[in-house]
Each structure stands twice: as structure tokens, then as C-alpha cells.
Amino acid sequence: MKFHLSVLLVLVTLFSCREEPPVKMNVLFIAVDDLRPDIGAYGNPYIQTPHLDRLAATGTLFESHFVQVPTCGASRCSILTGLLPKTTKHLSNAALEEFISDAPEGSVPESVVHHFRRNGYRTVGIGKISHSVDGLLYGYRESPEGARPEMPYSWDEFLFDPDKWGTGWNAFFGYADGSNRQEKDGQVPPYEMADVDDRGYPDGIMADMATDKLKELSEQQAPFFLSVGFFKPHLPFNAPKKYWDLYQRDRIPLSRVKDLPENVHLSSLQRMGEFNQYRLGDEQATLEAAISDDYARKLIHGYYASVSYVDAQIGKVLDELERLGLAENTLVVVWGDHGWHLGDHRVWGKHTIFDVALRSPLIIRYPGSKSRKIPSDQVVSSVDLYPTLADLCGLPVDFPLDGQSLGGLIQHGSDPDRTNRSFSYFNKGISMRTDRYRLTRYFREEQPNIELYDHQEDPYESVNIAQKRPDVVEQLMVEWKTGDTGLYTPQ
């Protein structure tokens, strides 16, 4: 009997060893608000982003990454749900709320974060991951009392410190003296250069929260999904003075496409409302006349300072990941939620479906994979991230998603099974980007309602050639229909 028990114990021990689950990879997902690819690693020789450059040098950088909607809430909705917009509400900042009310607990997970949580991950959010900046749903001017979570099932923990600003939304539009755009009813400038340390604005506070949380997570057994959503370079372009001091304003490059594009209806470009909510700007932005070069340089200087400030905060989080010995077992993603027109096409804002508003940085470091740059002729989408994370972390997905995993590109540099197109939506329009062209169709009454840009000849989309090249439009429409995964038609 004793003998049999021993054999049994040995067998049980051997069995347990074989069945030991592999160590799951952690995820660090960093969202950066309104960050266009103005990063050294993306080829901007003037901007100073040493920490993002360092990440890109050890990860995979996607040159042609496009978001699905050029506005915060809806873009984040598509990356978090892995789904393309299905109704007009999915193009708004309330997109995620709309999706979640359609998907109660128990059916499909509400987000990629929820999916990881269901698979044993400890999920922690800090800052602006979904549209909300503190995880709570409430209007900009309302009290946080009675607020409910924007993603009720996704987070084990959600952290935000509104500090001197009092609430999440006030912090989001905050100035160094504790004031914000709301309380001053827009009587504020779109930039600020205060002589404060990194904690003088919210991103510095969030970086410290993230490094503290990493320490705590490193001591736990469960794998983690830590998400940090930095605010800058979203308006107002407020950053500590030391980041403004990195640049000589007279050397700041202006847009290469300052004029209105040819053969385009102005309604494709006219949504500049957010910028003009900062009423103490030196000049108002309009499509009718470009602002002065001096003011344009000042604004771009503010944007660059904000990018360098957020780059330094990301550097603190990446350094801590390294210091704690977590880098080798943590997949890192840095994602910009959409691009921004810094005077491009006379627009100061993001609400267009031109390349400059849709293209944003996507850098993924998958430990063990060699670093590479996926060139611009390979088009990828934000909606691809959900299946990518599930694929690389070995989580099964038995429900429909609209994207395709980027795992093949990250691990091998190519993937013959990928489709090479990306769809984006806004302003009563849908746009398809291929490796060479952008075809945009507006579902509105004004003409022309089709725009075509040839990136081989015209990389800044300065001339709509839809009328001149009906053959290309026709060929792309065939491709459009093949790629159509149930796109809705904007009303």
C-alpha cells in the first residue's frame, strides 16, 4: 500500500509539473491623447522624444497606422472593443457607452481589458484610457457625484488623482494655477509655459502613480494588464517650461501643406470648434485665411513641448518596468488615439478624415521579437490591436472582432494573409486607405462627394484627383466592397 501511495505521489508531482501553465505575459498599454507621428523614430528630425525613440528601437514601429475615428472617445471605443463603428453614435465621444449598453455582462466582454480580466489578469487603469479621464461617466460641467463607470466590468482598479483641479475633467483641461477651461468659460489660451516641475500638470502625477503601481504589481502572482492614458499633447498645449526650452521657436518647422486642398468641399475641413473654444488665442483659426506664421510657430512649439513632456513621463514608466525586471515579460504598446492638423490644410484640430488626422503612432514591443519598422506600404489599423494582444498573450477569442492580429508582422516582419487597407469614419464620410491611395466618400448633399488622393504623387493630400482618375476610383470601389465588413452609411 505504501509503495502504491509513493508511486501515486510521484505521478501526481510529475503530472503537476507538466501541467504547470506557462507564465503569462503582462501588458502595459499606454494611450497618448492627440499624438500624431511627430516622434524622432517616425522621422521628425527636430522633435525631442528620446524615450519613445528608445522604445521604437527595441520594438516594432508601424509607419502606416490609422485610427478608425479621428476623435477621442470613438477612436478609443474601436481599439478597446476591436470593432468598427456600426452606427452614427459610435462616431461620438459617447461611443463606448453605446457599445456597452448593447453588451451586458455575461455575453461578449465589453473591452479587450475585460477579456484579459476574465482570463485571470489583474487589470488596472490610470487616466484617459476610454473617453473618460477618471473612469467615470459624467458631463464636463456636472458633479462627479452619482457618476457611473464608463467600463463597468473591465477594471479591477481604476486610479486618478485630480489634485488641485478637483475633478477629472477639470484636470484634463487644467492650467498650472489649478484653473481650467470650463470654469473660465473658454477665456483661456490654447497653450501655457509655466515654470513648474513635472507634477505641475496631470501627466507628471499619472507617471508617478503608474510607477508606484508597477512596483505593487511586480510583487503579485497574477499577470497584469496596466493601462496608462496620458493627456498631452491634447489641447491646451500646456507643458512645464523646461520642455519649451528644448526648442528654438524660429527653427520650428511649419506645415508642408498650409493651403486648402484643391477640388475639395470646405465641409470636409470645417470642424474647428474645439480649437476655437480657447478664446484667448492670439488669433482665431478659420478656413478663410491662414493664421500668421509667427502664431503657427508658437502653437507648434507648444505642441512639441507637450510631446516632449509626455515622452519624459513615458520614459519614467518604461524605466521602472526595466528596473523591476518586468520588461522581459511585459508586452508594451504605445498608441496615439489619432493625428492632428497643426495648420495642415488650414485646420487646427482633428475632426477630418485626411491622413494627417487619421495617422498616429503605434509601437509594440513584444519581448523576444526582433526590433523592426513595418514600412508605410503595409497599412494597419487601431482595430487590429485587440486580436493582436489576444494572439500574442495566448488568449482565445470565440466571438467576432473586426481587426486582424499584427502578430505575424511583429514576429516575422510580413504576413501574406493580411488585407492591406484601413477604413475610417467621420463627418458623414467613410475613407479607405490602401498602400497608395486614400478614397473618401461623403454621404451628404454637397458635391463633390468623392475624394481621391495618390500618396505616391501627393503625400500631403493637396489635390483631390477623383474627377481626373475615375479609373482608379472604380478599381478602388471593387476593393472597398471586398473589404466592406458591414459598414454602415452615415446619415
Q: By the criterion CB under 5 A, which residues form the site for Ca ion?
A: 33-34, 72, 337
E strands present in 254-394 = 330-336, 341-342, 348-349, 362-365, 372-381
Least spacing, CB of residue 39 vs Ca ion, in Å: 16
Measured from the CB atom, is 39 or 390 closer to Ca ion? 39
Measured from the CB atom, is 25 or 69 closer to Ca ion? 69
Measured from the CB atom, is 72 or 226 closer to Ca ion? 72
Least spacing, CB of residue 234 vs Ca ion, in Å: 6
Least spacing, CB of residue 337 vs Ca ion, in Å: 4
Q: Residues 6 or more apart from 115 whose CB is under 8 A from it?
A: 109, 386, 390, 395, 397
Measured from the CB atom, is 72 or 363 closer to Ca ion? 72
CB under 8 A, 24+ apart: contacts of 451-459: 451/263, 451/264, 451/268, 452/476, 453/355, 455/355
Least spacing, CB of residue 35 vs Ca ion, in Å: 8
CB 356 within 8 A of CB 322: no
CB 372 within 8 A of CB 64: no
Marked catalytic residue, from 51, 72, 114, 455: 72
> Cα separation of 77 and 250, whole Å?
39
Measured from the CB atom, is 38 or 337 closer to Ca ion? 337
> Cα separation of 466 and 454, whole Å?
10
Least spacing, CB of residue 95 vs Ca ion, in Å: 13
Least spacing, CB of residue 259 vs Ca ion, in Å: 25
CB 351 within 8 A of CB 69: no
The grid coordinates listed for 433 are 486607405
The grid coordinates listed for 17 are 509539473
Measured from the CB atom, is 72 or 401 closer to Ca ion? 72
CB 446 within 8 A of CB 405: no
Least spacing, CB of residue 426 vs Ca ion, in Å: 13
Least spacing, CB of residue 33 vs Ca ion, in Å: 4
Measured from the CB atom, is 25 or 129 closer to Ca ion? 129
> Cα separation of 173 and 231, whole Å?
9
> Cα separation of 449 and 196, whole Å?
49
280: helix, strand or coil: coil
> Which of 67, 112, 317 has its CA nearest to residue 225?
112
Instruction: Verify cis geometry, omega within 30 degrees of 0, for the bond prior to 490.
Output: no
Measured from the CB atom, is 233 or 387 closer to Ca ion? 233
Marked catalytic residue, from 131, 301, 341, 455: 131
Give the nearest residue (CB) to Ca ion: 72
Strands 362-365 and 330-336: antiparallel
Measured from the CB atom, is 77 or 217 closer to Ca ion? 77
Least spacing, CB of residue 339 vs Ca ion, in Å: 10
> Cα separation of 393 and 6, whole Å?
37
> Which of 375, 373, 379 has its CA nearest to residue 358?
379
CB 309 within 8 A of CB 232: yes
- Residue 72 catalytic? yes
Q: Residues 6 or more apart from 241 whose CB is under 8 A from it?
A: 193, 194, 195, 196
Side-chain half-sphere exposure of 408, counting CA atoms within 13 A: 11
- Residue 393 catalytic? no
Question: Known catalytic residues?
Answer: 72, 131
